[in-house]
Amino acid sequence: MTETISATEPAAAGTPTFRHFIAGEWCDSSSGATFESHNPADRRDVVGRFQQGNAADVAMAIRAADTAGPMWRRTPAPRRGEILYAFGALMAQHKERLARAMTREMGKVLTEARGDVQEGIDIAFLMAGEGRRMAGETVPSELPDKWAMSVRQPIGVAGIITPWNFPMAIPCWKMMPALVTGNTVVFKPASDTPHCATLLVELMEEAGFPPGVVNLVTGSGAEVGDAIVGSPDVGVISFTGSSATGKSIAAKAGAKLKRLSLELGGKNGVVVLADADLDLATDGILWSAFGTTGQRCTAASRVIAERSVVDGLLERLERRTRALRLGSGLDPSVDVGPLINEGAVDKVASYTEVGRGEGELVLGGDRAEEADLAHGHFFQPTIFSRVGAMDRIGQEEIFGPVLSVIPVADYGEAMLALNQTRYGLSSSIFTRDVNQAFRAMRDFETGIVYVNAGTTGAETHLPFGGWKETGNGHREAGHVALDTYTEWKSIYVDFSGRLQRAQIDNQPG
């Protein structure tokens, strides 16, 4: 939860103030204003005060990144990779501290926060290795005594705009490939998780990224994000967040023909066929639907089940969901943490109202306000049955702990229902029939498909991203992540000593 306050307001006792990081210096915003970040499990707990960045701060950060560009670009890529490696090693060394800070600021339970940090470490190490790969092609020329090859080169300044739900992994997914390929970075984290971003950048400084290579500006999307997107000196933008914001960024970036990688909404489905192992399917569905309190782009919000197994599945899901404990993610006995802020609770509550008119409420459906939960942003894990594939709760991204069960007649109907959405990030199928599994692998229109597992849990060395309105065709993670941050340069070297004309001198006549 964030709110703007005046810089002159006396700081609450013990509340630390954090700064932007520009040109290798920690500095205040020229606005003089700060905002607070709160613990979503207990909003009385103020994590810190952060700089309320503005367009002038962004301009300074872009200038610093631009100035550092030529030096960083000329630093040998293996050396850049070593600094990424040092950063990954520091994250590993500080994993527990980072994870605890993440749970406090973002709310996800500690085991998941550790996973989030680990995902950052994994991509740092993967991309450190790219410092010694980053391969182009060397191919034969159609002419004699001529060399032909392609190399990747950095674009320039990368604008990195990240969400709060993976407050360390996603910034690392974006910054590591940007940096190893020789770009410099202006990083604007979500205003719900500026502390997580600050901790990352502190470690980046310690790892040895030279001044100006990484710059952090905290603040709102409307001021800081817009200034980054609008700057003619930022050549590439990577954004993860809502489809609405993604579309507005795309319009602005498109007007300037900027490179843009978007990772947006999802409405991920789990198909359960009649022959599935229902206990395994239940494990996978619960983890995907209620893990991270449903706040993953990859979260399962639809179960599309063959009619003959719907009752058995619902019975298991209901029993297991009733046993889930809500509370602070720092308490090891807690399964489900809070939503990120009050706005998220309102949104989930309004969708459960819609759901009551569309399906049948199996359990949940209300804010969780018993005892200490009243101090945080908690919502009961919620399941609706008898939902229609085209109902609003079956179509729209809720980003909370709400699961809709959609009954279908057979695989064909399941596949249609799964694909009948404007999103296409992740999907899964539970079946013991290898032929059906391969049909799903062929038919599901999503960037990620799981067989006999839930919809979450992508690993960093394969492409991550979605079809249709989930994105704009780019992928994060995997080696293909380099594509977002590099220009290709094809180079021809003629050592014949004479003019040789391609497509002409090597053709008869």
Binding site for ligand UN1 (CB under 6 A): 119, 165-166, 240, 296-298, 456-458
User: What's the min distance (Å) between Cβ of 231 and ligand UN1?
Assistant: 25
Q: Closest separation between CB of residue 426 and ligand UN1, Å?
A: 7
Give yes or no: 119 in active site. no
Taking the least distance from each CB to ligand UN1, the nearer of 299 and 389 is 299
Closest by CA to 198, choosing from 53, 73, 65, is: 53
- What token pair was written down for 508? 């008869």
How is the chain split among helix, strand and coil, in percent rounded to 5? 40, 25, 35
Based on CB atoms, which residue is closest to ligand UN1, 121 or 134?
121
Judged by CB, which is closer to ligand UN1: 107, or 365?
107
CB of 332 to ligand UN1, least distance (A): 22
- 402-408 and 382-385 as β-strands: parallel, antiparallel, unpaired? parallel
Nearer Cβ to ligand UN1, position 115 or 131?
115
Task: Name the catalytic one among 36, 119, 196, 297.
Answer: 297
Residue among 119, 263, 306, 469 flagged as catalytic: 263
Instruction: Indicate the burial class of 14 (C-beta count within 10 angstroms; 0-12, 13-18, 19 or more).
Output: exposed
**Quick one: 34 or 240, whose CB is closer to ligand UN1?**
240
d(CA 118, CA 168): 9
Query: Can you say whether residue 372 is alpha, beta or left, with left for phi > 0 and alpha for psi between -120 and 50 degrees?
Result: alpha
- The answer to whether 263 is a known catalytic residue is yes
Q: Measured from the CB of residue 221, what is the shortest distance to ligand UN1 in angstroms?
A: 17
The sheet with strand 2-5 has its strands ordered as 2-5, 34-39, 42-51
Among 117, 98, 102, CA closest to 40? 102
What six digits make up the tokens of 487?
A: 């220009």
The number of beta carbons lying within 10 Å of the beta carbon of residue 382 is: 27
Smallest gap from Cβ 163 to ligand UN1, in A, equals 7
Hey, which residues are catalytic here? 263, 297
